[in-house]
Amino acid sequence: MMQAEVFSILVIAGAMIVLIMLSKRSIDMYEEGCKPRGLALYAIMYVQAIISITEPVLGKKRGRALAAYIGSVFLFILLSNWSGLVGLKNPTANYSVAFTFALLTWIIIQVTKIRENGIKGYISSFFKPLFFFIIPNIFSTLAPLISLSLRMFGNILSGTIIMTMLYSFTGLLSGMIPLIGGFDLIGVIVAPWLHVYFDIFSGFLQAFLFVSLTTIFIGIEYKEDLNNG
């Protein structure tokens, strides 16, 4: 039997593919010199917003090259964080999903570091400034992987747990009200306001923090002035 998180991932991935295809079609229909409208306008605004995150940190060339990855990750995490609002199981409340995204970022960080320093320089960096610093240097290398995955997983899972406890409590209180037949009236009144914070606001914030930290961690590994890169 398919796990609920896997089903949610397939639905979200399918929605992203459809959205990207519709955006491309809308942009292809856009004529030069005309003001973009509808989906084309929102797609252009989204790309510009992502570039505004990557370019100041990585420079114009590298920032635009990484924008596709950052934009895709942000959109997937955002839709995952909001998926609970439409009855899907939130994928990012599963640590394996959060860890996978953090692992992808961590691999890009290590590849960037190797490209900048070479294999020899990468290995020797674990022994700087002295040989016995190898243990803290290893922990320092693994820190982005741990912090990125646990931050997103912990925040999303805690919101899910709080809302589950809230519905249990409001359901119990509503059951004490006569004539409503067990309908969770209190939950209907109270829960939407908390969903605004725990799902919409917190979901957006965690997606934004993830891609922002990803960009910063990658930018740290470049040696030269990124404003010229």
pLDDT in tens, 122-132: 888 888 887 87
Yes or no: say if 182 and 175 are a contact pair by the CB < 8 Å rule.
yes
Residue 109 is predicted with a pLDDT of 93
Residue 204 vs residues 75, 76, 124, 199, 229: alpha-carbon distances, Å: 10, 11, 39, 8, 30
Could you tell me which of 201, 109, 212 has the C-alpha nearest to residue 155?
Answer: 201
* pLDDT at 73 (0 to 100): 94
pTM of the model: 0.85
At 214 the pLDDT is 94
pLDDT at 209: 94
Q: In which residue ranges of the chain is pLDDT below 50?
A: 1
Asked if 17 contacts 100 with a C-beta cutoff of 8 angstroms, the reply is no
Q: What is the pLDDT of residue 189?
A: 80
> Residue 3: in which H helix or E strand, if any?
none
Distances in Å between the alpha carbon of 167 and those of 38, 174, 186, 196? 38, 10, 9, 15
Outline where the chain has alpha helix (H): 4-28, 38-58, 60-82, 95-124, 134-175, 185-195, 202-220
User: At which residue do the structure tokens 């190898």 appear?
Assistant: 134
CA distance linking residue 30 with residue 43, whole number of Å: 12
Token pair recorded at residue 192: 């939407």
The predicted structure's pLDDT at residue 195: 80
* Stretch (H or E) spanning 85: none
